[in-house]
């Protein structure tokens, strides 16, 4: 049994989890089983199909396609860190390779997966998260395999897996290696900020932080009483006295899991004329909650990734207390995109 890691774009959202599959792109390449099952054949086909790809990157990218079609076996495990909700999903391959022509997400190369569990990123050590943060789309997980296997009851198997996995990995070209370092710096920073907000603040302190970040954005904000607030933790407004609309009622959830539609609906129920609802958490939201947001103009849902971006945009305005909580310094990294 091998442990694979795979990345898919954030645009696939929850489809792989709901429909029990993982996939890779390269739609113009066609059915992977139509290519001779050897690496040179995949390299030649990739170079012909995508002539714009740097020659140094061909071995790595062709290796991903070859391994997805020919080396993954039923019973192997897969770890998929989903970008849209900051969850680490662990599953078991239970189907053969399929080519889904015309897949709407641009991921026609698919394999069936039985999902065993989904876990917030903060439940894993940062070193383990770094290993599954590879810039390569498909890779093997070795060093921190046990961290993920223990979550789904494979603790005994973890002791032997590292020795069973092959060591064949194509060398990364310079651009891929540099891009991985740049992207990993960004992901690690996001993990660091969310861990600090989750572990070093009480729920009530987190409410005060959300009020502070809104003040950094130009609002006047106050935290409500700790009880009988009807789900409203912070009230924000543009004028100092708070009489002029819009009035923003904020609910703060210091969780890294998913908030549900009923929770968002409860906040909407507190609104009066000229008032808007803002829900803030460190994790993500259920699909039904996002549908509610799209259908209700007065509701805005801010997840962990969006909150981090707001913090980074306003970091220079944060009070010394919060800059000490989240010590950061600005650097420039290569951006090939």
DSSP for 115-157?
Answer: EEEEEEGGGS-HHHHHHTT-SSSEEE--TTHHHHHGGGT-HHH
**Geometric angle at alpha carbon 25, from 303 and 86, rounded to 5°:** 20
- Specify whether the CB–CB gap between 29 and 46 falls below 8 A: yes
Name the residue with tokens 């908030």.
Answer: 259
Q: Quick one: tokens of 158? A: 């973890």
How far apart, in whole angstroms, are the C-alpha atoms of residue 129 and residue 88? 9
To which H or E segment does residue 310 belong?
helix 304-313
Per DSSP, helices labelled H in 171-231 are 174-199, 203-216
Q: Quick one: tokens of 93? A: 């391959």
- Specify whether the CB–CB gap between 137 and 209 falls below 8 A: no
How far apart, in whole angstroms, are the C-alpha atoms of residue 207 and residue 222? 9
How many angstroms from the chain centroid is the CA of residue 159?
Answer: 28
Q: Quick one: tokens of 283? A: 């994790």
Q: pLDDT at residue 190 above 60?
A: yes
Q: pLDDT at residue 72 above 50?
A: yes
Query: Under DSSP, is residue 160 helix (H, G, I), strand (E, B) or coil?
Result: helix
% the chain with pLDDT above 90: 72
Mean pLDDT to the nearest integer, 101-106: 89
Structure-model confidence comparison of residues 183 and 147, the more confident one? 147
> 202-210, long-range: CB within 8 Å, 24+ apart, which pairs?
203/252, 203/254, 206/252, 206/254, 207/233, 207/234, 207/252, 209/322, 210/234, 210/250, 210/252, 210/280
How far apart, in whole angstroms, are the C-alpha atoms of residue 173 and residue 175? 6
- Summarize the chain as % helix, strand, coil (round to 5): 45, 20, 35
pLDDT digits (tens, 9 = 90+) for 289-301: 999 999 999 999 9
How many angstroms from the chain centroid is the CA of residue 93?
Answer: 21
Mean pLDDT to the nearest integer, 1-13: 91
pLDDT of residue 191: 95
How many angstroms from the chain centroid is the CA of residue 228?
Answer: 34
How far apart, in whole angstroms, are the C-alpha atoms of residue 210 and residue 230? 18
Return the C-alpha torsion angle 190, 193, 195, 200, nearest 10: 180
Structure-model confidence comparison of residues 178 and 202, the more confident one? 202
How far apart, in whole angstroms, are the C-alpha atoms of residue 104 and residue 297? 28
The reported pTM is: 0.84
- Specify whether the CB–CB gap between 1 and 161 falls below 8 A: yes
Mean pLDDT to the nearest integer, 73-98: 93
Across-strand partners of 178? none
- Specify whether the CB–CB gap between 67 and 170 falls below 8 A: no
Q: Quick one: tokens of 299? A: 């509701």
- Specify whether the CB–CB gap between 24 and 6 falls below 8 A: yes
pLDDT digits (tens, 9 = 90+) for 116-159: 999 999 999 999 999 998 778 999 998 999 999 999 887 666 55
């Amino acid at each position: 049994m091998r442990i694979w890691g795979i990345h898919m774009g954030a645009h696939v959202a929850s489809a792989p989890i709901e429909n029990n599959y993982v996939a890779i792109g390269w739609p113009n390449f066609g059915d992977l089983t139509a290519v001779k099952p050897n690496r040179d054949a995949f390299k030649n086909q990739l170079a012909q199909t995508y002539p714009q790809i740097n020659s140094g990157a061909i071995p790595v990218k062709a290796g991903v396609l070859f391994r997805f079609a020919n080396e993954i076996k039923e019973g192997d495990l897969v770890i998929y860190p989903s970008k849209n909700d900051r969850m680490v999903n662990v599953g078991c391959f239970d189907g053969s390779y399929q080519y889904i022509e015309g897949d709407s997400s641009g991921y026609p190369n698919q394999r069936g997966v039985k999902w065993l569990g989904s876990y917030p990123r903060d439940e894993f050590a940062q070193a383990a998260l770094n290993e599954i943060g590879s810039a390569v789309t498909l890779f093997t997980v070795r060093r921190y395999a046990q961290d993920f296997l223990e979550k789904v009851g494979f603790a005994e198997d973890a002791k032997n897996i590292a020795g069973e996995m092959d060591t064949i990995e194509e060398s990364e070209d310079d651009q891929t290696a540099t891009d991985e370092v740049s992207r990993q710096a960004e992901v690690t920073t996001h993990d660091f900020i969310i861990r600090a907000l989750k572990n070093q603040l009480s729920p009530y302190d987190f409410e005060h932080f959300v009020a502070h970040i809104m003040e950094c954005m130009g609002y006047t904000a106050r935290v409500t009483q700790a009880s009988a607030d009807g789900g409203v933790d912070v009230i924000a407004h543009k004028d100092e006295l708070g009489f002029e609309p819009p009035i923003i009622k904020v609910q703060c959830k210091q969780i890294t899991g998913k908030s549900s539609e009923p929770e968002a609906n409860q906040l909407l129920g507190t609104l009066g004329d000229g008032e808007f609802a803002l829900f803030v958490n460190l994790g993500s939201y259920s699909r039904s909650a996002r549908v509610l947001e799209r259908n209700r103009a007065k509701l805005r849902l801010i997840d962990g990734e969006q909150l981090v971006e707001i913090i980074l945009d306003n970091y220079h305005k944060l009070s010394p207390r919060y800059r000490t909580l989240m010590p950061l310094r600005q650097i420039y990294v290569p951006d090939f995109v």
